[in-house]
Amino acid sequence: MKQEKKHSNVLLKPLINIVIGADSMKIDTKELQNNWKHYTLTNDSGMEVSFLNYGGIITNIMVPDKNGLVENVVLGYKDYNDYRTNPNFFGAIIGRVAGRIQDSSFELNGETYSLTPNEGKNHLHGGQNGFHQVIWNATPFQTASSIGVKLKHESPDGEGGYPGELVVTVTYELTNDNQLIISYEGTTTKTTALTLTNHSYFNLSGNLQNTIHNHHVTMDSHRFIELDQSLIPTGQLLDVTDTPFDFVSGRNLTDGIESTFKQNKIAGNGYDHYFLFDQQKKENVVVKEANSGRVLTVETDQPGMVMYTSNGLDDNLALAEGPSKPYLGICFETQSSPASLHHEGFPSVVLLPNEKYESRTVFSFGVDSYI
């Protein structure tokens, strides 16, 4: 079936346009102003993944629905200049530590490190000058069955308050099986805190036609981290049984969005919680959207993830397909838990100088005509 494409993300006219690869599988590079570059990976099936070297921000993911119609399934700004501040972290690489660090401080080896607060008294997603706001060095590559770009950043010792000179590499790789593979590597000169993720907001309806209320999520998790009123982990793991947090057999997101369950209310009527994976299934998360038939599968070697249902998304942002509003996207932030900096029993975010940080998450896109 011939695939029809509906592109909607508008970028500034490129200064230079470079194409690497064959007509089907290719890497298109647009050189923009201020040393920004916009890359588009296209596989043999016509799936596309577009992103900036600024913040490693994924701006578009174009995939077909059950009828072959190719549409965008992530949130992105209409004007790429809006990514300069990007308070919602659309599509960005998050670091050094993804998530919230209580009181913007932590202790390692008997020494206390103070970070810059950017959400009340707490530190969120690496702070105001986190990895989402740096220009990454980019190197395109191509294999027999995939194409991609390797992004590299060197963070100096003490940047943002974090110890250690850190060298980080994040690779975006698109395969001919419609898989987006995100791989992370990092080394440090001092004991430090590090857990990286990508903050894309997914909406499988295509071009933001509907909210995510009826996205059906199945998750390999029986436990999640309890939050206080400031969305800071209390140190308690809660069982999902008989709660709207039980996705083991699958449920629609609307169950939690419309729930009166305390933890859903604390998150602003939805989810913004760390789920600990049971590690019993290869597929950690499966998401289905009935109207489009699109299916997203998440597989990762990380111990868990934060699932965020865009409860606090403003309704006045100019996105590629129209104005933003709450519940327009869902994030699957695969990572370790920053709660481990203040509480025992959680997946550690500590990286030692003699260690190598390595992580891999695979987002696979498909269709199911019988949803």
- Domains in the chain: ranges and CATH: 4-201+352-360 (2.70.98.10), 216-345 (2.70.98.10)
Using one digit for the tens of pLDDT, what is the confidence trace for 49-80?
999 999 999 999 999 999 999 999 999 999 99
Using one digit for the tens of pLDDT, what is the confidence trace for 214-247?
999 999 999 999 999 999 999 999 999 999 999 9
Residue ranges with strand state E in 233-303: 233-239, 251-252, 272-277, 285-288, 294-300
Statement: residue 370 has pLDDT above 90: no
CB 161 within 8 A of CB 192: no
Structure tokens given for 306: 């934060």
Structure tokens given for 11: 């970028």
Q: How many CB atoms lie within 10 A of CB 154?
A: 11
Residue 371 has a pLDDT of 74
Mean pLDDT of the chain: 94
* Cα separations in angstroms, 25 against 1, 14, 146, 175, 179: 19, 21, 8, 9, 14
Query: Which residues make Cβ contacts (< 8 Å) with residue 354, sequence separation at least 6?
Result: none
Once rounded to an integer, what is the mean pLDDT over residues 4-28? Answer: 57
Statement: residue 12 has pLDDT above 90: no
* Cα separations in angstroms, 152 against 172, 196, 319: 11, 13, 28
The pairing of beta strand 48-52 with beta strand 37-42: antiparallel
Catalytic residues, which ones? 199, 333
